[in-house]
Amino acid sequence: MTAIRVCLFSAALLLAACSKTVQAPIEVRNAWSPLTPPGATVAAVYAEVSARQADTLLSVSSTVAETTEMHSTLEENGMMQMRPVAELALQADETVRFEPGGLHLMLTGLRQPLPADSQFPLVLHFAKAGDVTVTVQVRAAAN
């Protein structure tokens, strides 16, 4: 009986040691895009990007569009304007939110409409972390 207990205890310790997860340097959460009507050629993508160490988001790409760019939205002379963002520096332990009315990712030259309840891959290209691929959920904007 004691040998069984020793084996069980050893197995539990081994399992605990193996279950420690190594946290990725970059985490992308809640990636989503609003559904698009037929014939649409542009769409936005929103997400939360967290850096565990300082890094720079150099660019973004996706197979569903010809180009993908980072944009900021700002008010200029009473009008909302989008401006391209060449690259985005992230500080250690910082979370950047790509959200409606602010910083966002712009898909241009959509290859097909983005229907509700579909998904597509998006690749974020970082200077240190390399490529981080996420799945973007397509949903109604109000969700």
What pLDDT digit, counting tens, does each position of 57-102 carry?
Answer: 999 999 999 999 999 988 888 888 889 999 999 999 999 999 999 9
The radius of gyration computed from the CA coordinates of the chain, to the nearest angstrom, equals: 21
Residues 6+ apart with CB under 8 A from 108: 41, 42, 65, 66, 67, 68, 69
Note the pLDDT tens digit of each residue in 27-62.
999 999 999 999 999 999 999 999 999 999 999 999
Residues 6+ apart with CB under 8 A from 52: 23, 24, 25, 26, 27, 92, 93
pLDDT reported for residue 11: 47
Residues 6+ apart with CB under 8 A from 82: 71, 72, 73, 106
Taking the C-alpha atoms of residue 36 and residue 112, their distance in angstroms, rounded to an integer, is 9
Q: Which of 9-23, 47-61, 122-136 has the lowest mean pLDDT?
A: 9-23
Residue count (the chain)? 143
The pLDDT confidence band at residue 3, using thresholds 50, 70 and 90, is low
pTM, full prediction: 0.81
pLDDT reported for residue 112: 92
pLDDT reported for residue 4: 55
pLDDT reported for residue 134: 98
The pLDDT confidence band at residue 9, using thresholds 50, 70 and 90, is very low
The structural architecture, per CATH, of the domain 24-139 is Sandwich (2.60)
* Tokens 């397509």, located at residue: 138
Taking the C-alpha atoms of residue 67 and residue 127, their distance in angstroms, rounded to an integer, is 19
